[in-house]
Chain A
Amino acid sequence: MSDSLSEKRKIKSAKKMRDIMTTYYLDAMTAEQNNKQVAWITSGGPVEPLVAMDIIPIYPENHGAMIGASKMGEDLCIKAEDMGYSSDLCSYARSDISCSIVKGGPIGGLPKPDMLICCNNICGTVLKWYEIQARLYNVPLFILDTPVCHTGYSPEIARYVRAQIDEYIIFLEKVTKKKFDHDKMARVGRLAFEGQQLWRKILNTTAHKPSPMSAFDAFFFLALIVTLRGTQIAVDFYRDLLTEMDQRIKDGISMVPNETYRLLWDNLPVWYRLKWLSTKFSDHNACLVADTYTSAWCSALNYIDEDNFLDSMAEAYTRIYLNIGVDQMADQVLDMIKFYDVNGFVMHSNRSCKPYSFGQMDIMKIVRKKAGIPVLMIEADMVDPRNFSQSQVETRIDAFMEIVKQRNSPNDLCRH
């Protein structure tokens, strides 16, 4: 590929996003000097009330992703193990816990929190993880308990979660010693809704053939909808990114040159192997066009009432992808397979993320039966590279792609 072509494929908005993220972390690092408070919050937690209260939300999981992507995970995980934590514990938790002590990682550790907000809609590990951090920093912890909706959202669950939203607001008023501004909350809610709508539209652009971006790009651009959800900054950025994607479609610019095969990815990325994986698939003319992970930040949109955000968010936060039954997860996967018209499904069995990886075998069987496409399972971990063996993964991917090619056309397999 010539340099100019590869330059053309680069997504221009990437630089802007890096700048926004740098400013975001700088603001958080200097929060105390500016009389602002910092709250650490789980990735699936309700951030909008924090934004409405002018509290800077910080995501240890986004930090975990940064640690993984900068290949600093192994060291920090080992440090946590030296502290006595089991190697079976989530690598985000391990690296965050040890980072708080050694102030390591790509940004020298996160700014000290004034409070912790923990929502268990993504996993149960966060409960103990946040309790540990609450003890370490000696700050108040709020836990939002969202029961798993195996089959649906019952009136009991609705009442239970909605009541906690009120408790959440009381908690914030107490910690900040400020009154909660409901009008501002409504504005933030609308921005959060708009941001998620834009994010969904961006992800939907990859239904186009060839795809203007890949899941690897989505993993990168996800950061804003996680960290700055409910802000004008996120809305403006995603509007521009959507325009860029639409333009790429018009100009016929694809992320993978000669896109021939389209794949769907499941679970978190393997952060320290993004480049290797992306090249590996691209060498097979395959593009990971979509994934179940980044779409989790807009999949509950249907439950949000933008004019009544506070009431509807209880449901939206409870019914996210990781907090529903396996059958419902499989239905979402099947919908994506159809919508993005993919030739194969790649599942990352993630040693760290138990709620995401548990049930994958069942989903695999359902997908094989109902969609009839090849499914690959690779074993790895999102941050700890000790759980990744290259030659094993490589053979699996190559064999999987050979099956995909053979299915497409038997001649494709032996083509040079």
Chain B
Amino acid sequence: MIYAGIDIGSITAKAALIKNNQVLGTHVILTGYNPLKAGINVFETLLTKVKISKADISGIISTGYGRASIDFADKSLTEIICHGTGAHFMNPKIRGIIDVGGQDSKAIALDRNGQVENFAMNDKCAAGTGRFLEVMANALEIDLDQLGDFSLKADSPSKISSICTVFAESEVISMIAGQEKRENIIAGIHDSAAARVAILAFKINIQKPVMMTGGVAKNNGMVMALGKRLGLNLIVGNLAQENGAIGAAVLASKL
């Protein structure tokens, strides 16, 4: 039996297939303006990739901000429960999850059985999310993917004091004008975003071991900054971005 999970995030759409408790394949595309189209596209591309047909799928669960748009899913569940399930599936020892996506960041506490015990999400503010990092990467004229490597070369991280993304961008621009080292500015940006996310983890009194999921987990500079702020080593799997979709597929097997 093969099950599918589709996670429509604000920036990327992810699909995952599981079979016999193993990940059969995953795929990630940009969401664009039409969540349903993105869902169909990411799902069908994945099916082609792993060479199976729609008829082989026994159940589909959708998740993420666009979850309700996926009309071909059997059920939709929130990304909180899906990330919890995904993390537990990948590593049953996990008790805490930090998921930083495009427009939200969250901290999730799991009990010993992998059930979500508690969660906290960013409120009406994009500081500490992927979008925050994207705005900063634009201001610094570098690719989002390069942020991490740049920041690891910092010798003295700059201090970004504004919480607001727009004001923080102005701060970064004046730092550029002041000829501060780009590496230091980027490290400062990561520290600032990490501080916002850490508040969520403290709110729910997160317990070790903690896994980081979501697209931002691919940014090693951010993982370092967050780990330092929380005083622990974050576990990052190579399917961190697809974790929500994997969780959705696992839950689909329980339909």
Contact = CB atoms under 8 A, between A and B. Distances in A.
Interface in B77-96: 77-81
Interface in B225-241: none
B219 interface: no
A175 interface: no
A403 B116 contact: yes
A395 B251 contact: no
B206 to A, nearest CB: 14
B74 interface: yes
A368 B118 contact: yes
State the 3 A-B residue pairs at the shortest beta-carbon distance, nearest first.
A399-B80, A399-B78, A402-B81
A348 to B, nearest CB: 13
Interface size class of A (residues with CB under 8 A): 20 to 34
Residue of B77, B78, B255 with most partner-chain A CB within 10 A? B78
A374 B115 CA distance: 12
Contact of A392 (B77, B80, B121): B121
Given A361-B203, A392-B121, 17 more contacts: A379-B123, A379-B124, A391-B65, A395-B65, A395-B104, A398-B77, A399-B80, A399-B116, A402-B80, A402-B81, A402-B116, A403-B118, A406-B81, A407-B115, A414-B75, A414-B255, A416-B255
B121 A396 contact: yes
A230 B118 CA distance: 44
Contacts of A389: 124
Interface in A352-409: 361, 368, 374-375, 379, 387, 389, 391-392, 395-396, 398-399, 402-403, 406-407
Given A399-B81, A414-B75, A414-B254, A392 B123 contact: yes
B119 interface: yes
B20 to A, nearest CB: 19
B96 to A, nearest CB: 15
Contacts of B104: 392, 395
18 contacts: A379-B124, A392-B121, A395-B78, A395-B121, A399-B79, A399-B81, A399-B119, A402-B77, A402-B78, A403-B115, A403-B116, A403-B119, A411-B254, A414-B75, A414-B255, A416-B74, A416-B75, A416-B255
Contacts, number: 56
Interface of A: 361, 368, 374-375, 379, 387, 389, 391-392, 395-396, 398-399, 402-403, 406-407, 410-411, 413-414, 416
A406 B75 contact: no
A413 B79 contact: no
B124 A392 contact: yes
Contacts of A374: 118
A206 to B, nearest CB: 26
A411 B115 CA distance: 12
Contacts of B65: 391, 395
Nearest to B116: A403
Contacts of B75: 414, 416
A411 B254 CA distance: 8
A72 B20 CA distance: 55
Contacts of B251: 413-414
A410 B118 CA distance: 16
Given A368-B118, A406-B115, A414-B251, A398 B124 contact: no
Residue of A361, A399, A413, A416 with most partner-chain B CB within 10 A? A399
